[in-house]
Amino acid sequence: MSTTESAPAGGPQSTPDAPGYLSHKQILVVLAGLMAGMFLAALDQSIVGTALPQIVSEFNSLDKLSWVVTAYLLTSTASTPLWGKISDLYGRRPLFIAAIVTFLAGSVLSAMSQNIEMLIGFRAVQGLGAGGLMSLAFATIGDVIPPRERGKYMGYFGAVFGLSSVAGPLLGGLLTDGPGWRWIFWINLPIGLVALGIVAAVLKLPHVKRSHKIDYLGAAVVTAAVTTLLLAVSWSGPDHGWGAGTTIGLLGAAVVLAVAFVLIELRVAEPIIPMDLFKGRIFSGYAGYAFLLGFAMFGALIFLPLYLQAVKDLSPTASGLALLPMIVGIFSASIPSGQLMSRTGRYKMYPIISAVLVGGAMVMLSTIGLHTPYWQLAIYMFVMGSGLGLSMQITVTAAQNSVPRKHMGTATSTMTFFRSMGGAIGTAVYGAVLTSRLKEHLGEIVPQTAQNMVGMLAKAANSVDALHALQQPMKGWALLGLVEAMGDVFLVSLPFLAIALIIAVITPEQRLAGRTDGEAKPEDVEASAAAAMH
C-alpha cells in the first residue's frame, strides 16, 4: 500500500499507525468546527418532537407519526459504519463537509414537504448526513487527542449534547407556536452554514493516502438488516401483531441478513466493520454496553416531554424548559468525570455507576402519577442526566483506546452505530409497549358501562390536542391510562440496564495512553487483547 503523506506543510506528521496529536491551542480550534457540526445533528434529534403534533394535524396522518422519527434513526444508524470506514480511507475533513451538505439538503427538502410521505423520505436524507456528523466528530477527536487527555475535551461534547437537548424542545416549541413547524428545518441552514465555514477553514488535518476498496456489498447488507429489523419492531409488530407472518418473516430476514453481513466482513479485504475489533473484550464489551444504554435512555428522552405536555398541560416551549434538570445532571457528571479520567487514566467505575443511576432513575420515573409535583420529577430527571453524563463519551474513549490507530474511524463509528441501533430499536419497542399497555390499563380504568369507549380513548392518547379536547370523566380516564402505561415503559428498560451493569463490571480496563506513549504495535495489541481474555 502507498504511504504518500498529504499533511500540510508544518502540520503534525502522521503515519497509518503513529499518533499525530495536536497542541492544546490547535485542539480548541478543531473542536470549534466539530462541535458546530455535532450540535447540528444533536439538535435535530430533539427539535422535531415538540412539532410532531402540528405536523400530524396538517397532514392528517397519525398512523405514520413514528416514521418521521424512525426514518431519521434508520439512515443515521445504517450509514454510521460507512462514514467511518470511508473517512479512514479518504480523510475526515472531506467526509465531514459532505455530511454537513447532505444534512442541510435533507433539511431544505423536509421544510418543503407537501405530504407525510415526502417528509419521511427527506428525513431519511437528513439522517444520512447526521450519521456522518456524529461518528466523524468522535473519530477526529481520536485522531488529534491522546486517550489520556481525551476525557477533559469529551466534557465539551457532553455540553453540546446537553445544550441541544434543552435547546431542541425549546426551539421546536417556539418555532411551532410562532412561524410554524417548517421552521424547525429552516433553522438548520444558518447553523449549518456556520458549521460548514468553520470546518472548511480550520479542520485541516494530516491524512495518509492508502490504497482502498470500499465494501459496497457489506454496506448494502447491513442497511437491509437494520431496515428489516426496524420495519418489524416499528410497523409490522405493532400493526399486525408479533405473531403475524409478516412480523416473523421480517425478523427472520433481519437475522439472516445480519449473519450474511458477518460472513461478508470476514472475507472482504476492507470491511466496513472489521470483525477483529470484537476479539478484544474491551471493545466488544463497550459496544454491547452502548447498545443497551441507548435502548434504555430513549424511553425517558421520548416520553418525558409527552408526560409534561399531556399530563402537566405544559406548552411545547415550557416542556422544553422543564427538562433542564436532566441537562444539569449531564453537565454535572460528564465534565468532572472526564477531567478525573484524564488525570488518573482510569475509567472503569464510570459506566458501572452510570448503569446504576439510570436504572434507579427508571424505577423512580415508573412511580410518577397524575399529581406528581414537579420538584420530585426534577430530582428523577437530574439522576437520569447524571447517569447518562457518566458514560456517554467515556465508553467511546475506552473503546478507541483499545484498538489500533488505523481503525480509529471505524471503531468510533461502530460504537456510534451500536448506540444509535439501541436507540432506534428502543424507540420502536417502547412505542409498542405503550400502545399495548395503554389499552389494557384503559380496560381496567373505564367502567363496564363505558367499555365501548376504550378504543376511542386509546386513539385520543396519541395526540396531546385530542387528549385535552376530551370532556371529563373521559379525559381523566385517558390521562390515568397514559401515565400507568408510561410507568410500564420505564420498567421495561430495567432488564436491559441490568445486563449493561454486568457488562460494565466484567469488561476489563486498559490504561489510557498518554501523549508520549506512542502507538501500540500490532503484537502489543494482540498481547493486550489476549491478556484481556483471561
Provide the 3-class DSSP secondary structure of residue 207.
coil
With bands split at pLDDT 50, 70 and 90, how would you rate the model's confidence at 208?
low
180: left (phi over 0), alpha (psi -120 to 50) or beta: left
How far is Cα 270 from Cα 200, in angstroms, rounded to an integer? 28
Environment class of residue 83 by beta-carbon count within 10 Å: exposed (0-12), middle (13-18) or buried (19+)? buried
Q: For residue 532, what pLDDT band results from cuts at 50, 70 and 90?
A: very low
DSSP for 519-530, written as a single string: PPPHHHHHHHHH
Residues 196 and 181: their CA atoms lie apart, in Å, by: 24
Share of the chain above pLDDT 70, in %: 81
Least confident of 266-275, 314-323, 401-410: 401-410
Is the pLDDT confidence value at 102 over 90? yes
Q: Which helix (H) or strand (E) holds 124?
A: helix 116-144
Looking at residue 530, its pLDDT comes to: 41
With beta carbons less than 8 A apart as the criterion, state whether 485 and 368 touch. no
Buried b (16+ CB within 10 A) or exposed e, 260-272: bbbebbeebebbb
Q: What 3-state class would DSSP assign to 5?
A: strand
| pLDDT of 362 | 93
Q: Is 243 exposed, middle or buried (0-12, 13-18, 19+ CB in 10 A)?
A: exposed
Task: List pLDDT tens digits, range 481-513.
Answer: 889 988 888 998 899 999 999 999 998 887 766
Q: Is 140 exposed, middle or buried (0-12, 13-18, 19+ CB in 10 A)?
A: buried
Joined grid coordinates for residue 309: 405536555
Cα–Cα distance measured from residue 345 to residue 513, given in angstroms and rounded to the nearest whole number: 8
Helix, strand, coil shares of the chain, percent, nearest 5, are 80, 0, 20
Contacts of 25 (CB under 8 A, 6+ apart): none
DSSP count for the chain of H helices, then E strands: 22, 0
Which of the four pLDDT bands, split at 50, 70 and 90, describes residue 414? confident
CA-to-CA distance for 66 and 48, rounded, in angstroms? 11
Write the pLDDT tens digit of every residue in 331-356.
Answer: 788 778 877 887 877 888 889 999 99
Can you read off the three cell numbers belonging to residue 115? 405530504
Reply yes or no on whether the pLDDT at 534 is more than 70: no
In this model, does residue 437 exceed pLDDT 80? yes
Determine how many CB atoms are found less than 10 A away from the CB of residue 438.
24
pLDDT tens per residue, range 257-315:
999 998 998 888 777 777 888 887 888 888 899 889 888 877 667 778 778 888 888 87
Dihedral, CA of residue 401, residue 402, residue 407 and residue 413, to nearest 10: -70
135 band by pLDDT with thresholds 50, 70 and 90: confident
Q: Cα(516)–Cα(514) distance, rounded to whole angstroms?
A: 6
d(CA 392, CA 416): 10
Mean residue pLDDT of the chain comes to: 77
How many whole angstroms separate alpha carbon 159 and alpha carbon 103? 22
pLDDT surpasses 50 at 18: no
C-alpha cell at 8: 500540510
Between 477 and 5, the more confident residue is 477
Three-state DSSP class for 257?
A: helix
Euclidean distance between CA atoms 246 and 311, whole angstroms:
35
Distance CA 66, CA 421 (A): 16
User: What is the rounded CA–CA span in Å between residue 375 and residue 342?
Assistant: 34
Question: Whats the size of the chain, residue-wise?
Answer: 534
Amino acid identity, position 455: G
Q: Grade residue 106 by pLDDT with cuts at 50, 70 and 90.
A: very high
Q: Give 311's strand partners.
A: none
**Coil vs helix vs strand at 474:** helix
pLDDT at position 300, please?
A: 66
Mean pLDDT calculated for residue range 234-248: 78
How far is it, in rounded angstroms, from Cα 253 to Cα 184? 36
Distance of CA 140 to the CA centre of its chain: 18
Residue 253: the pLDDT is: 94
The predicted model gives 450-472 an average pLDDT of 76
Q: 24-214+270-512+520-532 adopts what CATH topology?
A: Growth Hormone; Chain: A; (1.20.1250)
Residue ranges per structural domain of the chain: 24-214+270-512+520-532, 215-269
Angle at 393 between CA 391 and CA 395, to 5 degrees: 60
